[in-house]
């Protein structure tokens, strides 16, 4: 039986998560179907925009930030950040309002948020409506509820479009905890370079439905040089992305940013993109981008090139439930086992995990 996400992942200890969800049987249900017969080919690229639009809504409602994303033809990747402090600082009214941006909510909650109907409620009904805030708060910082809010509506919408029923997504989504800065940096670059590894894009900025393209386009749109330019990209509905750290960021705001600068990340993605292209040889310059030195990260150039180019094992095969150093992964597993044991004891206080280890009663 799979381990519940609530036990496996602790957002306070490891707030960054890599999540991936695939279409059933890895079918091309969100892109162009590569059927052999041209007349049978279907194009579902508009469904990829559905996911991007849904992300834009969920980021505004949940206490979860998006650091990177890539929407492919038969799966999508997300790098998420669970902001526990943000959710805990919300008032009860804010929690109810945020939750009802995405979900319907209980009838009492709907009446409570309506000023006209709230006047007709007595104190018991108001207290009952406010009591839902604790449950909603936990859901608004849950990766499982975030992924559910993406997958369920899109599956229904796609099935209605195809006039069929059945599964659209392949079981539960896969998730991996990112245990350190190196894991976060690796996973973000790996996600942004997905279209290049698949051979459907030549440069990161031309990779449709990716966070790197969204960041570049937004940067060009807001820059002064391209403000009046006719070649400036049109503004699209991009989800709000977690910002990078910069020199102007004040200390109180640094915890809300990614732990590296945007310029350094672009240099890293650009250098990695050169080896991810299918028409290039498997090679990486011995002089790694300066971001590794600034963050004091020890990275093997050959291993990095193997991962980013797709010629080696993917991150999902190389790592299971966590990405990071060996010692950090061991600590992560120990904590997960301890939480699982506490969870079992909470469900059944009479549960004994090792009855055979008990000493026999003395005479």
The end-to-end CA distance of the chain, in Å, is 41
Q: Tell me the pairing of strands 322-323 and 258-261.
A: unpaired
Residue with the bigger pLDDT between 337 and 129: it is 129
Q: Which of 66-75, 91-100, 269-278 has the lowest mean pLDDT?
A: 269-278
Residue 216's H or E segment, with its range, is helix 211-222
Domains of the chain plus CATH, in order, are 5-83+141-332 (3.30.70.1290), 85-140 (no CATH)
pLDDT of residue 233: 43
Asked whether 69 and 215 are in contact (CB, 8 A), the reply is no
What DSSP line would sit under 152-163, residue for residue? HHHHHHHHHHHT
In this prediction, residues 153-178 reach a mean pLDDT of 93
Residue with the bigger pLDDT between 80 and 325: it is 80
pLDDT of residue 282: 42
Q: What are phi and psi of 215, to 5 degrees?
A: -65, -45
- The winner for highest mean pLDDT among 7-11, 38-42, 101-105 is 101-105
pLDDT of residue 230: 46
pLDDT for residue 80 is more than 80: yes
Can you list the positions of beta strands (E) in the chain? 16-22, 64-71, 75-82, 174-178, 244-245, 258-261, 322-323
Counting beta carbons within 10 angstroms of the beta carbon of residue 8, is it exposed (0 to 12), middle (13 to 18) or buried (19 or more)?
Answer: buried
Q: What Cα–Cα distance (Å) separates residue 310 from each residue in 60, 114, 192, 206?
A: 33, 52, 13, 19
pLDDT band for position 28 (cuts 50, 70, 90): confident
pLDDT for residue 7 is more than 90: no
pLDDT of residue 279: 47
pLDDT tens digits along 132-157:
999 999 999 999 999 999 999 999 99
Residue with the bigger pLDDT between 45 and 359: it is 45
How far apart are the C-alpha atoms of 235 and 214, rounded to whole Å? Answer: 9
Residue with the bigger pLDDT between 253 and 151: it is 151
* DSSP state for residue 282 in the 8-state scheme: S
In this prediction, residues 107-123 reach a mean pLDDT of 95
Kindly give, in sequence order, each residue whose CB lies less than 8 Å from that of residue 321, ignoring residues fewer than 6 positions away.
Answer: 3, 8, 175, 176, 177, 332, 336
How far apart are the C-alpha atoms of 157 and 24, rounded to whole Å? Answer: 15
55-86 per-residue burial string, b: 16 or more CB within 10 A, e: under 16: bebbbebbbbbbbbbbbbbbbbbbbbbbbeee
pLDDT for residue 38 is more than 70: no
pLDDT above 90 covers a percentage of the chain that reads 48
pLDDT band for position 277 (cuts 50, 70, 90): low
Residue with the bigger pLDDT between 331 and 130: it is 130
Residue with the bigger pLDDT between 273 and 224: it is 273
pLDDT for residue 169 is more than 70: yes
Task: Give the neighbor-by-neighbor strand order of the sheet with 322-323.
Answer: 64-71, 75-82, 16-22, 174-178, 322-323
Residue with the bigger pLDDT between 63 and 2: it is 63
Residue with the bigger pLDDT between 3 and 234: it is 3
pLDDT above 70 covers a percentage of the chain that reads 80
How far apart are the C-alpha atoms of 292 and 204, rounded to whole Å? Answer: 20
Q: What Cα–Cα distance (Å) separates residue 21 from each residue in 32, 56, 138, 336?
A: 18, 18, 22, 23
pLDDT for residue 266 is more than 70: yes
pLDDT for residue 58 is more than 60: yes
pLDDT of residue 317: 79
Kindly give, in sequence order, each residue whose CB lies less than 8 Å from that of residue 323, ignoring residues fewer than 6 positions away.
Answer: 18, 176, 177, 178, 179, 183, 186, 187, 315
pTM given for the model: 0.85
Q: Which two tokens stand for residue 301?
A: 């150039």
Nearest to 139 by CA among 184, 106, 178: 106
Nearest to 73 by CA among 36, 37, 46: 46
pLDDT of residue 250: 67
pLDDT for residue 181 is more than 60: yes
pLDDT for residue 159 is more than 80: yes
How far apart are the C-alpha atoms of 16 and 242, rounded to whole Å? Answer: 11
pLDDT of residue 75: 94
How far apart are the C-alpha atoms of 107 and 129, rounded to whole Å? Answer: 9
pLDDT tens digits along 182-209:
999 999 999 999 998 888 888 888 899 9
How far apart are the C-alpha atoms of 323 and 287, rounded to whole Å? Answer: 25
Q: What Cα–Cα distance (Å) separates residue 28 from each residue in 24, 76, 197, 357?
A: 9, 12, 17, 52
pLDDT for residue 343 is more than 70: no
Residue with the bigger pLDDT between 122 and 279: it is 122
pLDDT for residue 299 is more than 60: yes
């Amino acid at each position: 039986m799979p381990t519940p996400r609530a036990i496996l992942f602790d957002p306070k200890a490891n707030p960054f998560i890599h999540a991936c969800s695939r279409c059933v049987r890895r079918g091309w249900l969100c892109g162009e179907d590569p059927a052999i017969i041209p007349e049978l080919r279907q194009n579902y690229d508009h469904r990829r925009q559905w996911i991007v639009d849904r992300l834009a809504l969920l980021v505004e409602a949940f206490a979860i930030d998006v650091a990177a994303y890539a929407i492919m033809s038969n799966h999508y990747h997300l790098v998420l950040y669970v902001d526990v402090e943000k959710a805990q600082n919300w008032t009860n009214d804010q929690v109810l309002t945020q939750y009802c941006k995405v979900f319907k909510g209980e009838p009492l909650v709907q009446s409570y948020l309506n000023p006209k109907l709230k006047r007709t409620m007595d104190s018991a009904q108001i207290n009952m409506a406010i009591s839902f805030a604790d449950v909603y708060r936990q859901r608004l910082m849950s990766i499982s509820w975030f992924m559910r809010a993406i997958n369920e509506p899109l599956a229904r919408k796609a099935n209605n479009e195809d006039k069929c029923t059945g599964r659209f997504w392949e079981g539960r989504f896969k998730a991996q905890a990112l245990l350190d800065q190196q894991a976060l940096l690796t996973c973000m670059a790996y996600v942004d370079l997905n279209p290049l590894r698949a051979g459907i894009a030549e440069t990161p900025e031309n990779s449709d439905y990716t966070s790197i393209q969204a960041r570049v386009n937004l940067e060009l749109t807001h820059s002064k040089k391209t403000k009046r330019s006719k070649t400036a990209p049109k503004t699209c509905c991009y989800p709000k992305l977690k910002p990078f750290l910069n020199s102007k960021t004040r200390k109180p705001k640094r915890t809300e940013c990614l732990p590296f600068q945007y310029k350094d990340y672009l240099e890293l993605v650009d250098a990695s993109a050169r080896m991810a292209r299918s028409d290039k040889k498997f090679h990486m310059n011995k002089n790694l981008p300066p971001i590794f030195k600034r963050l004091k990260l020890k990275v093997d150039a050959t291993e990095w090139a193997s991962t980013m180019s797709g010629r080696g094992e993917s991150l999902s095969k190389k790592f299971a439930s966590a990405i990071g150093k060996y010692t950090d992964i061991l600590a992560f597993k120990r904590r997960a086992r301890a939480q699982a044991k506490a969870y079992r004891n909470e469900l059944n206080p009479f549960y004994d995990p090792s009855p055979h280890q008990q000493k026999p009663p003395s005479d």
